Amino acid sequence: MLDIKFVRENPDIVRQNIKNKFQDAKLPLVDEVLKLDKENREIKQELQALQADRNRISKEIGKLMAQGKKEEAEETKKKVAEFAKRMEELAAREKEVEADLKKNMMTIPNIIDPSVPIGRDDSENVEIERFGEPVVPDFDIPYHTEIMEKFDGIDMDAAGRVAGNGFYYLMGDIARLHSSIISYARDFMIGRGFTYCVPPFMIRSNVVTGVMSFAEMDAMMYKIEGEDLYLIGTSEHSMIGKFIDTINPEEKLPYTLTSYSPCFRKEKGAHGIEERGVYRIHQFEKQEMIVVCKPEESPMWYDKLWQNTVDFFRTLDIPVRTLECCSGDLADLKVKSLDVEAWSPRQKKYFEVGSCSNLGDAQARRLGIRVKSKDGKKYFAHTLNNTVVAPPRMLIAFLENNLQADGSVKIPAALQPYMGGQTVIEVKQDK
């Protein structure tokens, strides 16, 4: 959410930013916000004047009564009553105006960083850099669920009977591999100086609207019926929510946290054949990283966060690339975002396995996350988040890049301690 003073003083910049994000339908919101803001300030001014007049006249009533001028005092009381009635009307209108103003302000997108490429959708994202040599082996690589089935590692049919489409059972070595990757990711991030955290897996509506736009909320979140609670779509939601309505001493920043959680997503919309299996599902697990920092430090942390993900994947022998998200692919609260994509030898292309975002002060402004400097000045923090790893999707990249010609899967050295020293996953003999 933008600062209303910024919108008031820079409406053309706000309008151009909306155009750059190809959201022209939101352009009328700028004029509406300016109109509501003007009315809101006029209401406050009138209320202040009425309050001053009422206080002054109320003092006169006492003087008139003391002087025995009862009739004049009664007439003056009528004026006070009229002031009170008008103030009550204004207060009611003020509440309506502020609610409408806040709703519109929360719908106007954040100002994107000047470095963000202008583009309509993810097809216009820009490749930045590649890490590791993408290899296509001289043997066929099956679809990821077929690889897992060779190890008796997945049962989607049973999951469909139990929970419906978009769910899975992971079994045996594949289930252990899944858990090992999460555990390794935890220790990897602790080694980089982040504090490990397991957060609440449900959050209240005021946290939901604080961390994401209304459109994202509708597309992603599962509501708990009869309660003001939502299942989290990523631990970033509750991790940023941890700081709601707080004033944080500047000397304690930055807060650098890495968190584990299950994630629950509606995943609305039709998906292609490559999103069968465990690519796009309603439930998965994830290791996340978040940073709450001073505004001037957020660009530096942005680069550190995405580099962590690249380094993590490279320790598991998975080639990756980074893509700069274009303006039309940025969620409304984001200032800048970069996707990390892993190489798929089967598809002979990269696919998304993580996303790093700098949200500026948008989440902090919505949630009331402030910083207090040594001189007592208060300002909004900046927040950032990034995926460390999100299996089981990451398992697709892992299995394809570590598959051997005989159908076995090698375990990279970094992961072997988490697999009980196992160096390879062998195909079940009856397969």
| Cα 37 to Cα 49: distance, rounded to the nearest angstrom | 18
Q: How many CA atoms are closer than 13 Å to the CA of 88, on its beta-carbon side? A: 6
For the entire predicted model, the pTM comes to: 0.90
Residue-wise pLDDT for 23-45, tens only, equals 999 999 999 999 999 999 999 99
Q: Exposed (0-12), middle (13-18) or buried (19+): which is 71, by Cβ within 10 Å?
A: exposed
Mean pLDDT of 76-80: 77
Q: Which of 45-49, 66-70, 221-225, 305-309 has the lowest mean pLDDT?
A: 66-70
Active site residues: 265, 280, 352, 355, 393
Residue 284 has pLDDT above 70, yes or no: yes
Res 333: pLDDT = 96
CB distance 416 to 423 below 8 Å: yes
Res 270: pLDDT = 44
Domains of the chain: 4-107 (1.10.287.40), 122-425 (3.30.930.10)
Mean pLDDT of 69-83: 76
| Cα 386 to Cα 307: distance, rounded to the nearest angstrom | 10
Band (315; pLDDT cuts 50, 70, 90)? very high
Residue-wise pLDDT for 397-408, tens only, equals 999 999 999 999
State how beta strands 349-358 and 154-155 pair.
unpaired
Mean pLDDT of 242-270: 92
Residue 216 has pLDDT above 90, yes or no: no
| Cα 121 to Cα 113: distance, rounded to the nearest angstrom | 17
Q: Exposed (0-12), middle (13-18) or buried (19+): which is 14, by Cβ within 10 Å?
A: buried
Band (273; pLDDT cuts 50, 70, 90)? very low
Res 268: pLDDT = 61
- Mean pLDDT of the chain, nearest integer: 93
Mean pLDDT of 321-344: 97
Alpha-carbon distances of 175 from 182, 184, 417, rounded to whole Å: 11, 14, 16
Q: Which of 147-151, 366-370, 426-430 has the lowest mean pLDDT?
A: 426-430
| Cα 258 to Cα 374: distance, rounded to the nearest angstrom | 28
Nearest residue to 154 (alpha-carbon basis) of 278, 273, 281, 282 = 278
Residue-wise pLDDT for 97-119, tens only, equals 999 999 999 999 999 999 999 99
Q: Which of 74-78, 336-340, 404-408 has the lowest mean pLDDT?
A: 74-78
| Cα 284 to Cα 271: distance, rounded to the nearest angstrom | 17
CB distance 414 to 330 below 8 Å: no
Band (1; pLDDT cuts 50, 70, 90)? confident
Place of tokens 């939101």: 26
| Cα 373 to Cα 149: distance, rounded to the nearest angstrom | 57
Res 429: pLDDT = 63
3-state secondary structure at position 118: coil
3-state secondary structure at position 399: helix
